[in-house]
Structure 1
Amino acid sequence: MTIWQPDPNETLIARSAVSFATGAATPVAGMRWFRDTGRTDIQDELPGWPEGPRFTVRGKTERRLRSGAKFGASVLLVATLGVLESLAGSGSTGTVATLGAPEDPENEVEDFPVMWAAPGALARSLPWQLDPARRPETDRTHLAVTDRRVLVLGLLNDVDNPFDEVLWETERSHVAAATRKEFSRYDTDFTITFTDGSWCRLAGRDTNCRDDITRALENPLPLMDPDDLTPGQHQAVRELLEGKEPGGTLLIHRRPSGSVYVTYRLHDRVDPTYGIGSAAFKLMDADGQNARFRKGDI
């Protein structure tokens, strides 16, 4: 089994499955583009990239047809649910999720760039394997974040032998910000903005994947020293680790709400579909008791 590991003098904070994001709004649904700062398509300029699909933003006529089809499907769904509710003699059987209002219509509805980079900018160096429309079905891509670096790893979709390979890396200091995007299906999208102004829009395999990465890229890195814990928190951590396999990494995050988030991870347990999850975790208050989750804690 070949699994990438950080250097002896660095700490792995998160490793999660990611890909370039995919448009969700009707005009750009299922699509993505690679742009320079003049909004020109640059995918043919990216060195070593294989040919990929060519997309066109849907015109108003096509949007109306798609909306009409969705409306018809919605009517059928409502009618069906009404019958089911009558038969069951109960209330609503489900809810319909919506995307809400776009935060950045120009880049989420009118266009959907997943790479925004001037010539020579860092985002242009990202590997083509991040594009699910280009990489083989047998492959996956993970983003690994350490206290020193950010890396893109390529691997096989094989739990027994993922065969990790470093496809790209940069110093952590080259990342200016990582931002969760609210206007995304399933709450999986986020952007990474580099210090040269270029950026990319990625999507985690699920919300946990996204949150692990964006939390790991917070600046300054909000990791606490165990010596800073209160006696009650120390006791909570001891109880959390009871019976857990040794050899993992304990990370203690100070959260914006004032709570403390603790994770324990075994770095040799990689799931190609998701990455490295927590063998144990806890959000706790100053006394080590379970804290109520607030936005941004996780």
Structure 2
Amino acid sequence: MTIWQPDANETLIARVAVSFATGAANAVADMRWFRDTERNDIQNDLPGWPEGPHFTVRGKKERRLRTGAKFGAGALLVATLGVLESLAGSGSTGNAATLGTPEEPENEVEDFPVMWAPLDGLARTLPWQLDPARRPRTEHTHLAVTDRRVLVLGLQNEAGKPRDKVLWETQRSNIRAVARKKFSLYDTDFTITFADGSWCRLAGWNSNCRDDATLALENPLPLMDRNDLTPGQQHAVQKLLAGKDPGGTLLIYRRPSGNVYVNYQHDDRVDPTYGIGSEAFKLMDPDGENARFHKGDI
């Protein structure tokens, strides 16, 4: 078993399973595109990329029929056409209730780019293995974030023997911003914007993967030293780690709410489907007591 590990002088903050995201609105459901800044399709221009599927945005009639098929009744389809037509303008036809209002209709309904980059944009260097339509079924792609770097790892899991390969990496200084996207199925989508303005839209295997990735990519990185904790928080951490296997990484985050989030993980205990999960965690107030959750704490 060969599992990637950070260098001796860096700290692994998160490792989670991610892929390029997939469209959710009916017009772009199950599809994705790779675009330049003029909205041209660039997937055939990406060096080393194997051939992949080519998609076309669905027209309104196709959207209505697709929605009707979900209900499985022609009469119900006819009865709901008027409502669906009114929703089609917002692009949320058929799934408005679950997805809500798109934040960027041009990129979430009318089109669904998961890569947006000029000719020399950093996003163009991302590996093709992030695309579920191209990646072998035996391989998983993980996003690893340290206090120095951001990497994409390819993990082969044949015969229960995981084996890592570094597919891509960049310095944290090349990341301008990260944002969780509300308009996505199961709250899994997020975007990474690079310093050159290019960006990608990724999806975690689940919402916890998404949250772990975006928390790790915050800038400046809000990690605290254990010595900065109050006596009550020190005691709470001691209790949290009692009985846990030694040798893990303790990560302590100061959150905008004033709460402190603590996570304990072992960097070599990788689940191919998920990545590295928390072996113990706690959200605490200044006294070390369980804190009331505020948006953005985790």
2:44 corresponds to? 44
State the Cα distance separating 1:75 from its structure 2 match: 9.5
Deviations 1:173-225 (A, max 9, x none): 00001100000000000000000000000000000000000000000000011
**Counterpart residue identity of residue 192, structure 2:** I
1:19 corresponds to? 19
Structure-1 separation of matches of 2:212 and 2:158 = 22
Deviations 1:38-68 (A, max 9, x none): 0000000000000000100001111121223
In the alignment, structure 1 residue 115 sits paired with structure 2 residue 104: no
Structure-2 separation of matches of 1:185 and 1:142 = 20
2:183 corresponds to? 183
In the alignment, structure 1 residue 153 sits paired with structure 2 residue 153: yes
Maintained 8 Å contact 1:157/1:273: no
Structure-2 separation of matches of 1:143 and 1:73 = 42
1:30 corresponds to? 30
Relative to structure 1, the CA distance from residue 74 to residue 141 in structure 2 (aligned partners, 3 Å threshold; closer, same or farther) is farther
State the Cα distance separating 1:265 from its structure 2 match: 0.4
State the Cα distance separating 1:71 from its structure 2 match: 4.6
State the secondary structure of the residue aligned to 1:283. Answer: strand
Relative to structure 1, the CA distance from residue 74 to residue 97 in structure 2 (aligned partners, 3 Å threshold; closer, same or farther) is farther
In the alignment, structure 1 residue 65 sits paired with structure 2 residue 57: no
State the Cα distance separating 1:156 from its structure 2 match: 1.4
Relative to structure 1, the CA distance from residue 101 to residue 74 in structure 2 (aligned partners, 3 Å threshold; closer, same or farther) is farther
In the alignment, structure 1 residue 144 sits paired with structure 2 residue 144: yes
Maintained 8 Å contact 1:3/1:162: yes
Relative to structure 1, the CA distance from residue 73 to residue 163 in structure 2 (aligned partners, 3 Å threshold; closer, same or farther) is farther
- Alignment length, in residue pairs? 279
1:244 corresponds to? 244
State the secondary structure of the residue aligned to 2:200. Answer: strand
Deviations 1:208-253 (A, max 9, x none): 0000000000000000111110000000000000000001000000
Structure-2 separation of matches of 1:250 and 1:52 = 41
Maintained 8 Å contact 1:158/1:272: no
1:167 corresponds to? 167
Deviations 1:149-183 (A, max 9, x none): 00000011358421000000000000001100000
1:92 corresponds to? none
Maintained 8 Å contact 1:255/1:261: yes
1:220 corresponds to? 220
1:271 corresponds to? 271
**Counterpart residue identity of residue 139, structure 1:** E
2:104 corresponds to? 104
Maintained 8 Å contact 1:15/1:142: yes
**Counterpart residue identity of residue 194, structure 1:** F
**Counterpart residue identity of residue 110, structure 1:** E
Maintained 8 Å contact 2:151/2:170: yes
Structure-2 separation of matches of 1:75 and 1:288 = 59
**Counterpart residue identity of residue 212, structure 2:** D
Relative to structure 1, the CA distance from residue 230 to residue 56 in structure 2 (aligned partners, 3 Å threshold; closer, same or farther) is same
Structure-2 separation of matches of 1:269 and 1:71 = 43
Using the size of structure 1 for normalisation, the TM-score is 0.91
Structure 1 unaligned regions, length at least 5:
77-95
Structure 2 unaligned regions, length at least 5:
77-95
State the Cα distance separating 1:72 from its structure 2 match: 4.7
**Counterpart residue identity of residue 202, structure 1:** L
Root mean square deviation, CA, Å: 1.6
Maintained 8 Å contact 2:193/2:200: yes
Maintained 8 Å contact 1:155/1:164: yes
Using the size of structure 2 for normalisation, the TM-score is 0.91
Structure-2 separation of matches of 1:16 and 1:74 = 42
Maintained 8 Å contact 2:68/2:74: no
Maintained 8 Å contact 1:159/1:272: no
**Counterpart residue identity of residue 115, structure 1:** M
State the secondary structure of the residue aligned to 2:294. Answer: coil
State the secondary structure of the residue aligned to 1:178. Answer: strand
State the Cα distance separating 1:74 from its structure 2 match: 11
Maintained 8 Å contact 2:152/2:168: yes
Structure-2 separation of matches of 1:129 and 1:228 = 41
In the alignment, structure 1 residue 294 sits paired with structure 2 residue 294: yes
